[in-house]
């Protein structure tokens, strides 16, 4: 009798268990595998910082260095930027959309839900501007207002006009800077630059506003003046202590190392710093000659920080020597094949430039002071141009101390350099702009995306293009990066619309909006 009673009860329990299991399985099937169930804003912000500054090290360091004649190579393989046919190396920044930009957007989506997270939201919005400004300056019109909403079903975003992107980036910087609240929570040590310091983040925002405002000097001087003056009044980075940088470590894990230094060594300057490096890059003649100056008194002391010659020793092996007289640069696109005197050309200093634990400097007082000097000669700032110029050069030299003891430049050397290379206070506007911009070029040795943008904007320093056989620009230095070919397939209508707006071409020579001829 008992068995007859309990049998239907057991059957009901088993059926209930089966239905529960089916419900759980169906729930799993209904989950979006591409969506986050929860967002760790701190983790993603750190990841987005690292992802943005370490993006496309081959293109952003090697390729641009060669285009801007600070490095040279005989090879046609590794980022031959001085030969103007390196299309394959100038597409990879587009990966920001699926990497650091997407991560930053997730942080924004999460933190805007809670008013107490206003500082995290502001920092993430500013960082999104940083990533976007590099993309639009490299490519021109790009997906912006409809980007990063793929989870909402929009997989083919329109390409926004660069002028509209700039207007929105200015708005984002202004609103974010004004929204910081020192009483609210921050990212803390998840923020690699400032440990969540809201005062420093505000300075970062106004420094970015100054950079972007000055970018418009050729295309829209009136708009440029408005935002440059707002940035200066807001309070950009004026002191070295407020410089934004990401730290790295010299350890076994490649992910902990400076991505550019690591890439340098992997691609060209192999460990051990064999002067017969595997892909054939050297520091360029144009760069070495500029740093050497006309005499020992006009020499730029950064020469001995940046450059070494590997000197063969009688007992065997090589020693890195920074002596001025030994430094020699290789001409851009001079060779097609290994040159017999390859060992006689200088390479980047392994004790500074290529340290695994070297920081990546994002933006600092050196750039800001040089931009203020330029604003002064344009009549947009009451600052003394000579003083701002000297402050910019001083900060640019002092920041090399962050690259180890080999990067320390004494105050005496800086003073001597400025004494014999003073600001051209009595010069013409173009002479002053060239002097300021050339200092910006030297400063940009380790920030080649910004270096490329500022050179296109000002035209200084004057570089003599190469005309290597088989180049695709007719012997003209490239003006932009190339949008990946995949966009013509995956987002065809919007891509073609943007292409038609930008000279009807997607080439190294089609210019972005602000790069007015």
Predicted confidence (pLDDT) per residue in 169-216, tens digit: 999 999 999 999 999 999 999 999 999 999 999 999 999 999 999 999
Are 65 and 306 contacting, i.e. CB atoms less than 8 angstroms apart? no
Joined together, the tokens standing for residue 350 give 């392994």
Pull the structure tokens for residue 31.
């989950």
CA separation for the pair 62, 54 (Å, rounded): 13
Decide: 319 and 310 in contact? Cβ < 8 Å.
yes
Question: What's the confidence (pLDDT) of residue 37?
Answer: 61
User: Helix, strand, coil proportions of the chain in percent (round to 5)?
Assistant: 55, 5, 40
d(CA 384, CA 313): 50
Q: Does residue 496 contact residue 158 with C-beta atoms inside 8 Å?
A: no
pLDDT at 87: 60
- Is the CA virtual torsion 400, 406, 408, 410 positive or negative? negative
Confidence at residue 61, expressed as pLDDT on a 0 to 100 scale: 79
Identify the residue whose tokens are 């701190």.
Answer: 42
- Dig out the tokens for 278 from the structure: 């595997």
Among candidate residues 372, 129, 362, the one with its CA nearest the CA of residue 243: 362
Going through 77-119 in order, the beta strands assigned E by DSSP cover none
Q: Inter-axis angle of helices 100-111 and 118-139, to 10 degrees? A: 150
Residue 259: which of 59, 55, 452, 407 has the closest Cα? 55
**Pairing of β 318-321 and β 307-312:** antiparallel
> H or E element: which one contains 362?
strand 360-363
Q: Tell me what pLDDT residue 15 has.
A: 44
Decide: 72 and 329 in contact? Cβ < 8 Å. Answer: yes
Asked whether the CA dihedral 76, 342, 72, 96 is positive or negative, the reply is: positive
CA atoms within 13 A on the CB side of 53: 25
| Residues 10-31: tens digit of each pLDDT | 344 344 444 444 444 544 445 5
Which token pair is 510? Answer: 């089609």
Are the C-beta atoms of 220 and 513 separated by less than 8 Å?
no
pLDDT for position 271: 64
The per-type count for the chain, helices as H runs and strands as E runs, is 19, 9
Q: At what angle do helices 429-443 and 365-377 cross, to 10 degrees?
A: 170
SS (H, E, C) 216-264: CCCCCHHHHHHHHHHHHHHCCCCCHHHCEEECCCCCCCHHHCCHHHHHH
| Three-state secondary-structure class, residue 204 | helix
pLDDT at site 496: 95
pTM of the model: 0.91
DSSP state of 8: H
- For 412, how many CA atoms within 13 A lie in the half-sphere containing its CB? 0
Burial group, residue 401, by CB count within 10 angstroms (0-12, 13-18, 19+): middle
- Tokens in use for 331? 């001409």
pLDDT of 1 reads 40
- Tell me the pairing of strands 71-73 and 281-283: antiparallel
- Helices in 268-302 by DSSP H: which ranges? 285-292
Q: What is the pLDDT of residue 19?
A: 43
The C-alpha atoms of residue 75 and residue 65 are separated, in whole angstroms, by 14
Write out the H or E segment, with its range, that includes residue 7.
helix 2-29
Residue 78 confidence (pLDDT): 65
How many whole angstroms separate alpha carbon 391 and alpha carbon 367?
10
Q: How far apart are the two ends of the chain, measured CA to CA in Å?
A: 98
The angle at the Cα of 391, spanning 301 to 452, to the nearest 5 degrees, equals: 70
Domains and CATH numbers, the chain: 41-236+473-517 (1.25.40.390), 254-348 (no CATH)
Among 391, 333, 412, 360, smallest CA distance to 69 is for: 333
In this prediction, residue 12 carries a pLDDT of 42
pLDDT at residue number 52 = 96
Structure tokens that stand for 98 in this block: 């699926």
Is there a contact between 116 and 502 (Cβ–Cβ < 8 Å)?
A: no
Low-confidence ranges of the chain (pLDDT < 50): 1-24, 26-29
344: left (phi over 0), alpha (psi -120 to 50) or beta: alpha
């Amino acid at each position: 009798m008992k068995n007859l009673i309990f049998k239907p009860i057991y059957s009901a329990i088993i059926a209930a268990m089966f239905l529960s299991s089916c419900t759980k399985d169906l729930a799993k099937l209904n989950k979006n595998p591409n969506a986050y169930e929860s967002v760790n804003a701190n983790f993603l912000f750190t990841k987005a910082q690292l992802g943005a500054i370490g993006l496309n090290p081959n293109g952003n360091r090697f390729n641009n260095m060669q285009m801007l004649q600070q490095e040279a190579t005989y090879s046609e393989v590794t980022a031959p930027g001085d030969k103007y046919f390196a299309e394959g190396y100038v597409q990879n920044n587009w990966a920001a959309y699926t990497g650091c930009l997407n991560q930053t957007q997730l942080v924004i989506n999460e933190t805007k839900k809670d008013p107490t997270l206003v500082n995290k939201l502001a920092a993430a919005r500013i960082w999104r501007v940083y990533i976007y400004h590099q993309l639009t300056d490299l490519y021109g019109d790009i997906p912006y207002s409809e980007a990063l909403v793929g989870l909402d079903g929009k997989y083919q975003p329109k390409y926004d006009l660069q002028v509209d992107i700039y207007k929105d980036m200015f708005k984002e910087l202004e609103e974010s800077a004004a929204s910081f609240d020192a009483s609210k929570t921050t990212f803390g040590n998840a923020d690699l630059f400032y440990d969540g310091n809201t005062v420093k983040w505000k300075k970062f925002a106004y420094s970015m506003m100054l950079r972007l405002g000055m970018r418009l000097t050729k295309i829209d001087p009136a708009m440029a003046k408005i935002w440059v003056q707002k940035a200066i009044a807001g309070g950009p980075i004026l002191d070295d202590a407020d410089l934004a940088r990401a730290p790295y470590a010299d350890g076994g894990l490649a992910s902990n190392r400076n991505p550019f230094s690591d890439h340098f060594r992997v691609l060209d300057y192999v460990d051990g710093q064999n002067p017969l490096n595997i892909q054939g890059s050297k520091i360029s003649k144009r760069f070495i000659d500029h740093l050497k100056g006309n005499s020992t008194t006009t020499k730029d002391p950064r020469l001995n920080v940046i450059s070494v010659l590997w000197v063969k020793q009688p007992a065997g092996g090589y020693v890195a020597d920074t002596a001025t007289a030994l430094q020699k640069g290789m001409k851009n696109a001079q060779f097609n094949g290994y040159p017999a005197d390859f060992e006689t050309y200088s390479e980047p200093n392994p004790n500074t430039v290529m340290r695994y634990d070297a920081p990546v400097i994002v933006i600092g007082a050196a750039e800001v002071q040089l931009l203020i000097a330029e604003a002064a000669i344009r009549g947009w700032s009451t600052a003394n141009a000579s003083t701002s110029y000297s402050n910019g050069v001083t900060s640019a030299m002092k920041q090399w101390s962050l690259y180890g003891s080999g990067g320390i430049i004494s105050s005496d050397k800086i003073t001597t350099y400025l004494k014999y290379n003073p600001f051209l206070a009595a010069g013409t506007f173009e002479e002053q702009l060239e002097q300021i911009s050339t200092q910006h070029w030297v400063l940009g040795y380790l920030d080649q995306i910004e270096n490329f943008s500022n050179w296109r904007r000002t035209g200084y320093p004057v570089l003599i293009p190469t005309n290597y056989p088989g180049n695709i620009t007719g012997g003209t230095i490239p003006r932009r990066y190339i949008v990946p070919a995949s966009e013509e397939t995956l987002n065809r209508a919007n891509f073609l619309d943007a292409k038609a707006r930008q000279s009807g071409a997607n080439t190294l020579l089609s210019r972005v909006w602000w790069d007015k001829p």
